[in-house]
Amino acid sequence: MIPAEAFYAGLFKVAAAAAGFVTDPSGRVLLVKPGYRDHWGWPGGHVDEGESPEEACRRELAEELSLVRPVGRLLVVHWVPPLDDRPVPLVHFLFDCGVVEDGAGMVLQEEELEDYGFFTAEQAAPLLPAYLLARLTAAERAREHGTTEYLCGSVLE
């Protein structure tokens, strides 16, 4: 029998990340512009050791925007294969974190974020890579229909 530590040491590495799907009353989605990459995305980040995806989502919203929100239903699970700027696959959990009236009270985490805003899918299209736009529209459908969507790596193009 293979010892557990040897078995797990031989497995491939996968990064886990979580983010919050937050909208304003008109349905526009809250997106953030990190200072460390060219495109926008959701408030969120990597899941820390010993942390669940829900806990990571809650922590990241508070750290990045000083936004304290209940973490609701899982809307999208997205498997993203390795990319040029990330050599390991990623599993991303996008949770429904409800509706906020506006950006009042949000404070950007200056060392990570440059900006935030609320966008429709059409407005967000030029700001997001295709795979993130697919995640956005999947989250809108999942919220509307009370479902959870799974996206695979084929939505990268």
Residue 10 has pLDDT above 90, yes or no: no
Cα(116)–Cα(106) distance, integer angstroms:
9
Residues 37, 78, 145: CA angle, nearest 5 degrees: 120
pLDDT at residue number 157: 52
User: pLDDT-based confidence at 1, cuts 50/70/90?
Assistant: confident
Q: What b/e sequence results for 20-49 when a residue is b if at least 16 CB atoms lie within 10 Å of its CB, and e otherwise?
A: bbbbeeeebbbbbbbeeeeebbbbbbebee
Give the 3-state secondary structure of residue 1. coil
- Rounded to an integer, the average pLDDT of 13-39 is 95
Query: pLDDT tens, 78-128?
Result: 999 988 878 899 999 999 999 998 877 899 999 999 999 999 999 999 999
User: pLDDT-based confidence at 156, cuts 50/70/90?
Assistant: low
* Contact of 16 with 90, CB cutoff 8 Å: yes
Q: Which of 10-19, 65-74, 90-99, 123-132 has the lowest mean pLDDT?
A: 10-19
User: Over the chain, what is the mean pLDDT?
Assistant: 93
pLDDT at residue number 85: 77
pLDDT at residue number 82: 87
The answer to pTM > 0.85 is yes
